[in-house]
Structure 1
Amino acid sequence: MPDRRVIKLLVISDLICPWCYIGQREMEKAIELCSNLPVDVEIEWRPYRIYPSLKDGSFVPKREWYESRFGKDKVEQMEQMASTRGEQLGITVKILEGVISQTTLAHRLLFKAWKLGGQVKQQALLTLLFKAYFETSENIGDTQVLAKAAVTADIMTRDEAVKFLESDELLEEVETMMTDARRKGVNGVPFVVIDGKWAVSGGQTAEVYSQIFKKLATGEVSAPRPRVEPPSAGVQVSA
């Protein structure tokens, strides 16, 4: 029996990006497709701000914010594309209901989840926050919403979560990771770095990810294909 291969992924994403939610589900499907291969996929989610102009603590109705930025026609196209792709994956993606806010607090909580419980805790929290934002239109910039998610994901108590979120713990580390991603040329998400050697940009399908995993499992160490760029290439992603 061949030795099991560990594939390490760094996924740079933002919680208010619909293609990051879609990308998470596609990656989960890819891992399911490769369940019969001698591979283990380890995932760490890293922070990113797709809209740096959004101010922390400022909550704006999504429709108002998107239409002022992109125009009504473009926004309707974005909504239809994301909704249709989500339906194909069995998830709901609503981009115009509720409020939009900066994601610094949520990223800090996700990093705390990683430090406390690694992939299992971080993935559980990430899924809850994506669902809260895109499916039930909750404000993931709100401390109480985040604290509730932390409790549900069994990361910490509500009081512990509120205390953490009201502090500056891990803020410097999260800011540094986001700055570092842009410095290395990442200007769109999702952006997936594979084993520190290759990167896949954009809302790829499960089939693309599974092809890469299969190549790595069978010892093909050349750069995965298709649409793979060096981590520093910084491919612009349309969302």
Structure 2
Amino acid sequence: MKPHLKIDIVSDVVCPWCYIGKRRLEKAVEQLKDDYTFELRYLPFQLSPDTPAEGENTKERLVAKFGSEDRYNQIIQQVSGVAAAEGLRFDLENQTVSPNTHTLHRLIGYAQQQGKQLEMVETFFKAYFEERVDLTQTETVVQLAAGIGLDAEKVREVLVSNVGAEQLDKQLYQNRLMGVSGVPYYIINDKYAVSGAQPTELFLEALPEIALKAPIQAPVVAGEACDIETGVC
């Protein structure tokens, strides 16, 4: 029997490093899949929980977050360049609406129940960062979910109700209790933490070691992330 690796990924839909980290981890999984079995699960995090339901202007929000337009331009160019190296075509400078991701996380939770969580997460990342989709629009989100095989009417019911809200809020609280202040944040086999969008090479080195070890005491490995406390992204 192959060694098993369970990887919980704490992530937010509007976190660029989470999308970059997703690609890097996927490349490692692809290279290791013949020798290990993988169980990937996404856990929710909100970088901007106070965003209004109608969303905010993306550039205005990020300029305020980073302190200046020059700093905004610098970070956007840097992150887009890193993303391009992973095969992602970011178009963040033309994304006009930054959504409150609470409802999107509820839908990701529903998609998990339907066995479609990974597809939903990927669809939201691509829509937001590469296709400039306004994720505050209910019917737009319904169409995205239907595109991965979810029932459109049931998705619409989730979006216009509070289905899953209590469970989501518990998960958000639990992730904060764990000390997660920045994402992406990886919890491997419930015992080893990796923070930030680590290079694929780190995962290729670390995952086989973790798969073969009993519970260990190890420091958190830190990398590039979006941090709610410092505002760094």
TM-score normalised to structure 1 length: 0.87
Partner Cα separation in structure 1 for residue 44 and residue 18 of structure 2: 11
- 1:91 counterpart residue number: 88
Partner Cα separation in structure 2 for residue 94 and residue 147 of structure 1: 22
- 2:65 counterpart residue number: 69
2:2 to 4, 7, 12: 4
Q: Secondary structure at the match of 1:199?
A: strand
Q: Secondary structure at the match of 1:8?
A: strand
Cα deviation digits, residues 25-75 of structure 1 (max 9, x gap): 1110010121332x11101101110112312x1222211221122211211
Question: Equivalent residues in 2 for 1:4-43 (5 A)?
Answer: 4-37=2-35, 39-43=36-40
Residue 213 of structure 1, CA deviation: 1.7
Partner Cα separation in structure 2 for residue 89 and residue 81 of structure 1: 13
- 2:188 counterpart residue number: 194
Partner Cα separation in structure 2 for residue 83 and residue 126 of structure 1: 19
Partner Cα separation in structure 1 for residue 188 and residue 228 of structure 2: 15
Moved runs in structure 1, 4+ residues, more than 6 A? Answer: 234-237
Partner Cα separation in structure 1 for residue 160 and residue 182 of structure 2: 29
TM-score normalised to structure 2 length: 0.90
Partner Cα separation in structure 2 for residue 113 and residue 209 of structure 1: 26
Q: Secondary structure at the match of 2:50?
A: coil
Residue 76 of structure 1, CA deviation: 1.1
Cα–Cα, structure 1 residues 226 and 181, in superposed 2: closer, same or farther, change >3 Å?
A: closer
Cα deviation digits, residues 136-195 of structure 1 (max 9, x gap): 111122211211111111122x22211111111101111111111112210000011111
2:142 counterpart letter in structure 1: A
Kept in 2, the 8 Å contact 1:31–1:41? The answer is yes
Residue 224 of structure 1, CA deviation: 9.2
Q: Is residue 2:142 matched to residue 1:147?
A: yes
Kept in 2, the 8 Å contact 1:105–1:141? The answer is no
Partner Cα separation in structure 1 for residue 150 and residue 207 of structure 2: 30
Kindly report the root-mean-square deviation, in angstroms, between the aligned alpha carbons of the 2 structures: 2.2
Kept in 1, the 8 Å contact 2:186–2:193? The answer is yes
- 2:77 counterpart residue number: 80
* Percentage of identical aligned residues: 27
Partner Cα separation in structure 2 for residue 95 and residue 136 of structure 1: 9
1:65 counterpart letter in structure 2: R
Partner Cα separation in structure 1 for residue 121 and residue 159 of structure 2: 16
Q: Point out where structure 2 has 5 or more consecutive residues left out of the alignment.
A: none
Partner Cα separation in structure 1 for residue 133 and residue 31 of structure 2: 32
Partner Cα separation in structure 1 for residue 193 and residue 128 of structure 2: 27
Question: Equivalent residues in 2 for 1:178-193 (5 A)?
Answer: 178-193=172-187
Between the two proteins, the alignment pairs up a number of residues equal to 226
2:15 counterpart letter in structure 1: C
